[in-house]
């Protein structure tokens, strides 16, 4: 049987057996890797926020995190039911699997759907690493699946976009573009439009700039490097010189989409502004551009996919699958972060009964999810805490030198038993009145700044 190049752009449903087999393989691979993954500080922060925070923390203080409450609302029952930290990874994996199930049903090329499901972003970054991105993708794909029914079911479509507005900034950009097209294409009922506007306002109220923000999140001068990285990493994640390939895909995609190109370019413009002037968090943010590209092809009614566009997109996805496989192997055999290993030592030796002074706070919070009920005394702000506040006070605490942090801890715990947890090694600890109890032994391949040293004062 000869290979038919039309399969590159075939938009008919996948055979049920093929789709089910792909989904089961996706779940098996990502679950295996997730159970070997050591969460880093951003994953820890979500868990600690719902474990130790209250309603005010999750809703009102959400302005400092940049995330609406929806992700935290899903997480909140887990620690309250007494479930361990790994339950967050399992919930995120379930959400990611649901998103991939929708992806496999979208009107895209057969090859594109299968490759995308096992590409870096879907099969590692957004499924193994537990952040709100998997939730955003699930709701975005739900909106894409309903796009052609938006006239018949306008309130259901508006409800999905309302959820998308309230996941994260990337979801807001996508929802805003789809809502604008919904309203401007033709005369629409006022009710669904009002639902979308209310959801957008609700999201903005939750994440608008607070009066005392940290440096991250403020406007800064144009960062063209972030824009270039976001385009290259979207289609060729972690691959050097991927920018040229990314630009080529954007050009071919625009030609293929024709009049429907606005479905892609409106949210992409919003994301580019976010990356260029506010915050580009690295490769994890770039993946939303790939999501946009897949959605745009799926919802476009007049798209005429060209073989060249499909070939280049699928080539990029094939490279991305290889990148995902590399990270599966690394995360299975090495440590992503040193937080879990340090926590196991502390808890295994009963040291969590002591006060622990910690510095620097962002790195050290990666240890806390494995110590139920425990809080560190963060020397930078001279307060007990777990999750990060991300206000100006917290930001100033990050600038405190380690020598100064040590001095603050000595004064705070003078005459009491205590320990000192640092994210850098103390030079000549005996000369400073400390002895090293433990440091990470497993090699760390990703968050190398999350290696820890635990000290006990000699007297």
Q: Is the pLDDT of residue 219 over 90?
A: no
For 444, list phi and psi in degrees, rounded to 5: -110, 125
Q: Is the pLDDT of residue 210 over 80?
A: yes
The two most distant CA atoms of the chain are separated, in Å, by: 81
CA distance 421 to 282: 28
Position 393 scores a pLDDT of: 93
**Is the bond into 256 cis (omega within 30 degrees of 0)?**
no
Let me know: does 266 contact 180? Beta carbons within 8 Å: yes
Position 222 scores a pLDDT of: 86
CA distance 151 to 457: 69
CA distance 419 to 444: 24
Other C-beta atoms lying within 10 Å of the C-beta of residue 56:
9
In DSSP terms, 376 is beta-bridged to 385
Position 305 scores a pLDDT of: 55
Check the CA dihedral 185-191-194-200 and report its sign: negative
Q: Is the pLDDT of residue 4 over 50?
A: no
Mean pLDDT value across the chain: 93
Q: 């609700």: which residue's tokens?
A: 202
260 vs 144, residue with greater confidence = 144
Convert 190-245 into a string of H (helix), E (strand) and C (coil).
HHHHHHHHHHHHHHHHHHCCCCCECCCCCCCCCCHHHHHHHHHHHHCCCCCCCHHH
Let me know: does 62 contact 206? Beta carbons within 8 Å: yes
Let me know: does 234 contact 287? Beta carbons within 8 Å: yes
Average pLDDT over residues 67-80: 96
pLDDT > 70: what percent of the chain?
95
Position 10 scores a pLDDT of: 60
pLDDT > 90: what percent of the chain?
78
Average pLDDT over residues 369-388: 97
Q: What confidence tens digit (pLDDT) does each residue in 13-56 have?
A: 889 999 999 999 999 999 999 999 999 999 999 999 999 999 88
Q: What confidence tens digit (pLDDT) does each residue in 416-437 have?
A: 999 999 999 999 999 999 999 9
Position 3 scores a pLDDT of: 42
Average pLDDT over residues 161-167: 97
**pTM for this model (two decimals):** 0.94
Q: Is the pLDDT of residue 396 over 70?
A: yes
300 vs 125, residue with greater confidence = 125
DSSP codes, 98-130: HHHHHHTTSSS-HHHHHHHHTSHIIIIITTTS-
Q: What confidence tens digit (pLDDT) does each residue in 320-332 have?
A: 999 999 999 999 9
Position 196 scores a pLDDT of: 97
Q: What confidence tens digit (pLDDT) does each residue in 350-359 have?
A: 999 999 999 9
Check the CA dihedral 275-277-279-280 and report its sign: positive
Q: Is the pLDDT of residue 127 over 60?
A: yes
CA distance 52 to 39: 18
Q: Is the pLDDT of residue 1 over 50?
A: no
CA distance 56 to 58: 6
Q: Is the pLDDT of residue 12 over 80?
A: no
């Amino acid at each position: 049987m000869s290979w038919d190049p039309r399969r590159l752009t075939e938009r008919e449903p996948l055979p049920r057996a093929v789709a089910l087999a792909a989904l089961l393989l996706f779940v098996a691979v990502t679950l295996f890797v997730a159970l070997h993954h050591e969460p880093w500080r951003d994953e820890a922060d979500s868990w600690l926020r719902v474990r130790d925070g209250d309603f005010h923390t999750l809703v009102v203080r959400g302005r400092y995190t940049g995330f609406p409450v929806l992700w935290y609302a899903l997480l909140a029952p887990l620690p309250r039911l007494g479930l361990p930290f790994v339950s967050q990874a399992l919930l995120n994996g379930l959400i990611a699997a649901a998103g991939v199930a929708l992806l496999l049903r979208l009107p895209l090329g057969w090859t594109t759907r299968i490759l995308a499901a096992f590409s870096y972003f879907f099969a590692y970054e957004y499924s193994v690493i537990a952040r709100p991105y998997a939730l955003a993708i699930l709701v975005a794909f739900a909106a894409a699946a309903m796009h052609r029914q938006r006239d018949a079911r306008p309130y259901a479509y508006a409800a999905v976009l309302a959820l998308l507005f309230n996941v994260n900034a990337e979801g807001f950009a996508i929802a805003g573009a789809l809502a604008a097209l919904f309203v401007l294409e033709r005369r629409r009922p006022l009710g669904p439009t009002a639902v979308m506007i209310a959801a957008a306002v609700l999201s903005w109220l939750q994440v608008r700039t607070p009066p005392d923000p940290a440096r991250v999140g403020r406007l800064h001068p144009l960062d063209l490097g972030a824009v270039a990285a976001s385009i290259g990493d979207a289609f060729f994640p972690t691959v050097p010189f991927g920018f040229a390939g990314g630009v080529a895909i954007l050009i071919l995609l625009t030609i293929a989409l024709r009049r429907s190109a606005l479905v892609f370019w409106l949210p992409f413009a919003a994301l580019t502004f976010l990356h260029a002037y506010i915050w580009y968090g690295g490769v994890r943010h770039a993946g939303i551009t790939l999501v946009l590209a897949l959605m745009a092809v799926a919802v476009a009614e007049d798209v005429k996919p060209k073989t060249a566009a499909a070939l280049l997109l699928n080539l990029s996805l094939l490279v991305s699958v290889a990148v995902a496989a590399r990270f599966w192997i690394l995360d299975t055999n090495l440590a992503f972060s040193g937080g879990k290993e340090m926590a196991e030592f502390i808890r295994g030796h009963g040291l969590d009964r002591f006060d622990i002074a910690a510095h620097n706070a962002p790195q050290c919070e990666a240890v806390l999810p494995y110590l139920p009920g425990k809080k560190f005394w963060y020397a930078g702000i001279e307060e007990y805490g777990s999750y990060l506040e991300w206000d100006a006070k917290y930001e100033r605490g990050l600038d405190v030198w380690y020598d100064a942090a040590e001095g603050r801890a000595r004064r705070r715990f003078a005459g009491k038993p205590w320990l000192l947890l640092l994210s850098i090694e103390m030079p000549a600890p005996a000369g400073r009145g400390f002895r090293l109890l433990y440091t990470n032994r497993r090699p760390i391949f990703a968050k190398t700044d999350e290696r820890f040293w635990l000290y006990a004062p000699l007297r």
